[in-house]
Structure 1
Amino acid sequence: MTVDDEEVTLDAEQRGSLGTDERTALRRWLAATLRAPVDSLSVLADGLNLVVAVSTTSEADAYVVRRPNELRETALFVDTATEYAVLERLVETPVPVPEPVAHCTDPSVLGAPFVVTEYRDGAVVPLGSRLPERYRTPAAREQLTWETVDTLARLHDVPVAQFRDVCEHHTPREQVAADVRRVERVADAVAADFADLLAVGDWLREHAPTDGPTRLVHGDFRPGNLLYADDPDHAAANAPNGETADVPTRAATGTRGDEVATATTATDGPLPRVAAVLDWETPMLGDPRVEIGYLLLRWRDAGDVTPSLDGFAERYGEATVADLREDNAVGMAPFTSEPGTPSRRAVLDRYERATGIVVDDPEYFLAHAAFTLAAVCADLHRRSVAAGADSDHHAHADYLRAVAETVIDGRFEI
């Protein structure tokens, strides 16, 4: 399952998504703004956002252009001016973000406003994808997990005062209400039944917490929006002649497999760190428990109850159901079911210790996350139908509805 820009990543030589006139205009604007000649433009993705890597004649200076294509008019998304303002404020915090460089509001360049940031090396982990091969070890999975949750904790520790003038505040109930309206618009536009999904939204509104902490939240915090790079401070990364190093692990409690059951873990490869948090198109002031629930939705622990797929093949076809069976087997982030990855409970415990935020009803926030993602899939289905394209997004929305019901019915626990 994926709703990422990465699903439409293009070869650098493919020119269709950035025409000759746009390339010329963008080169001219960048050269004047950056005060440096542009060496090359490479389209990295052209899905919900057009993402272009920019190299200059200086090897030390590289940038990324990010222009929205879709969804920015949708509730809970922000415009590029807000995106840029949030990045400006985050640069001086412990949250790793690409430094914002410029914000273009001139539609004659790319047809819509866009943001320019510094370029950072690393790899994302799109929804449903395995980790980069270099990180497919128990020790790397463990560190990647801790790096991910620690970065989220740092984000939720940022003082909110400096963001009150740029970010709107949304309670969990208001977020559900926005997504209910989104699904209702889809139901009015396409020949598909979303009654059961809307019933989940009604339950979530009725049972939403009435109070809770307020923090700056990313709105889409997941491995697909994090840039992972090798940790330069790790002994294994600097071991001479390719030698391995015995590296002390964090507490082994809650990790999978005998490989990490001891006080030290032998590692024969690099360990990851979070180099940057990307895609700041949905920031808000909100309840941070919603965001940890959204991250934990991707986890798959041994013994997890999964929704039945009875009837899915008849409704959506066997090829689509094969993808859903994979989600049931290994989770939306497959590395979470592999040796070394800390359990869902261990991740939540670490988050609570780091932030001091107690998530006393984590199952509610898991169901909330499933509904949020189902609403996105439903909207993507509507857009595909409107464009006359094939779509498996309705099936994924239905699957996420079933995931939410499993949690709501008490069959699934953290």
Structure 2
Amino acid sequence: MVELGGDVDLQARGADAEAAARRVEADAADEPADADREQDVEGVGERDAIAEPGHEAAQDDDPTQAPRQRRKGLHPSRCLPRLRDLVAVLLDRQAHGASLRLGPPHEYGRSVTSPEGLDLDAVVPWLRERGLVGDGDVEASRLAGGLSNVTYLVTQGDTSLVIRRPPLGHVMPTAHDMGREFTVLSGMARGGFRAPKPLAFCDDESVNGARFLVMEYVPGRILSSDAAAEGLSVEDAGVLSAELMDTLAELHAVDAAAVGLGDFGKPEGFLARQVGRWRQQWELSKTRDLPEIESLATWLDERVAAIPTGAPWSVVHGDYRLDNCIVDPVDPRVRAVLDWEMSTLGDPLMDLATILVYWSRPGDTLRHEIRFAAFVTDRDGFWDREALVDRYATASGRDIGHLDVCIALSGFKLAVIMESIRKRTLAGQQLGADMSLADGMARATDALAQMGLAMADGEGVAALSR
């Protein structure tokens, strides 16, 4: 509840196991800066759900009443778009733990307490020098969740910005490269792709203890839980399913060289390097012998080696899924794609495979053992996985002949991450976790391994519906 005349600090949700997956992978990764970067972190949702805006009040259509005079400049066609964005901003700030102040303003220029990891006394002058904020109060709040790159909402009046920095504490030398994320966002802006516009990059660690980037704030909804999708109609769920595939096809059509990303990665040998990397990580992370993982890794080695060289490549997001997209607060369309820290140049089918593994449908058994972003797409209206594949193939015009390999590899990668979380939990290194998390991660690892082997047995996309 918000009380008029005072501040209310809305409690942010605690970091969960899904967010922990991001830090586990980041801590394990340490490769040269020009290598593939998808090893840096396995992206998982960092935001809470945002509630649906309320319905507009119905107009009085009593014919006996004289028409009401409208005040100049308040025609609905001009007001509603701004009102929609305002509602989205307020809902998003509430969902992410920001303070909603409805009382008297602060005294001019009063400092606001800095959230952990963001020194406003140092950062605000840096922002002012670049014209990103003016004089007066600046507020900041950490967006809830996430143990990987840390994201803050910075506000001043009706101006909202987002700042991203590496995690607090120890970070591998080449992981969490803010400059790299700024580069890919800049490329997406040049290509007209739907992503937050990058505004500034600070490579001077003395300002805030770490390099950071500033990007625009895009209001909207994050559908990261079943409750977040509560207001989505059956029709809208179907439209959004198509929109996600069309958006992915648009990303993979971006000309990397034309937008300044021609040397952003090494597409040749991409899949083989992925298999080798995650096989090595399994040896470092495993808490038990799991023959299914060994069998899956062997199958992947053989199948990847059989894929012809010179396969088409593109910019790859690295963690493309529903809850890494900002959805318009009214229309079922994607306003922006978030979390580009794992992006590189590689096989575009890995992005399709990732969203298929995270997708869920009623009747799934193995998928529901993996509690991350579960049940959102179980709702009526969301498409089955086969329909998603067909839509992407049509929209992109790409050959999807080795999609089974990419799905099995995506499942293998996620299984290793789940096992890593289990190992940290058993060792008492996963903050806020108890042994129930270790048990849950074991079930998730087992489920992902079984899904991967079902793909290896030739079951196709249906293997994900087991």
Task: Give the TM-score normalised by structure 2.
Answer: 0.67
Structure 1 gaps of 5+ residues are 231-269, 308-323
Q: What is the deviation of 1:28?
A: 3.1
Q: What is the match of residue 157 of structure 1?
A: 253
> How far apart, CA to CA, are the structure 2 residues paired with 1:325 and 1:353?
29
Q: Is the 8 A contact 2:45 2:324 kept in 1?
A: no
What's the Cα RMSD here?
3.2
Measured after TM superposition, the shift of residue 227 of structure 1 is 0.7
Q: Does the CA-based 8 Å contact 2:369-2:444 persist in structure 1?
A: no
Aligned 1:8-407 pairs, distance under 5 A: 11-12=97-98, 18-19=115-116, 22-33=119-130, 34-37=132-135, 39-45=138-144, 46-57=146-157, 59=158, 61-69=159-167, 73=172, 79-126=177-224, 129-135=226-232, 137-161=233-257, 162-169=260-267, 171-187=270-286, 191-194=287-290, 196-208=292-304, 209-211=307-309, 212-230=311-329, 270-301=330-361, 306-307=365-366, 325=368, 333-384=374-425, 385=427, 387=429, 389=431, 390=433, 391-392=437-438, 393-407=441-455
Matched letter for residue 12 of structure 1: A
Instruction: Indicate conservation of the 8 Å contact 2:313/2:345, yes or no.
Output: yes
Cα contact 2:202–2:212 (8 A) shared by 1: yes
User: What is the rounded CA distance, in whole Å, between the counterparts of 2:443 and 2:188 in structure 1?
Assistant: 37
- The 1:348/1:20 distance shift into structure 2, 3 A limit, reads closer
**Distance apart, 1:292 and its partner CA:** 0.8
What is the distance in 2 between the residues matched to 1:210 and 1:180? 22
AA at the equivalent of 2:184:
V
Contact 1:130 1:333 in 2 (8 A): no
1:64 to 1:129, Cα distance in 2 relative to 1, 3 A: same
Moved more, 378-387 or 33-42: 378-387
Equivalent pairs, count = 348
Instruction: For 2:191 and 2:340, locate their aligned partners in 1 and report how far apart those are by CA, in whole Å.
Output: 15
| SS at structure 1 position matched to 2:151 | strand
1:377-411: CA deviations, max 9, x gaps?
Answer: 23334444362543433442232222212322335
Give the aligned partner of residue 77 of structure 2. Answer: none
Alpha-carbon distance, 1:67 to partner: 1.2
Rounded Cα–Cα distance in structure 2 between residues aligned with 1:303 and 1:106:
51
Separation in structure 1 between the aligned mates of residue 396 and residue 117 of structure 2, nearest angstrom: 49
Higher strand share: 1
| Residue 194 (structure 1) shift | 4.9
CA separation in 1, counterparts of 2:185 and 2:219?
Answer: 18
The runs of 5 or more residues in structure 2 that have no matched partner are 1-16, 20-43, 49-94, 100-111
CA contact (8 A) 1:51 1:65 kept: yes
Maintained 8 Å contact 1:219/1:291: yes
Return the offset for 1:341.
1.5
Q: CA deviation at 1:302?
A: 6.2
Instruction: Give me the TM-score of the superposition, normalised by structure 1.
Output: 0.74
Establish whether residue 6 from structure 1 lines up as the match of residue 29 from structure 2. Answer: no
Q: 1:87 to 1:406 in 2, by over 3 A?
A: same
Change (3 A) 1:402 1:272: same
How far has the Cα of 1:149 moved from its partner? Answer: 0.9
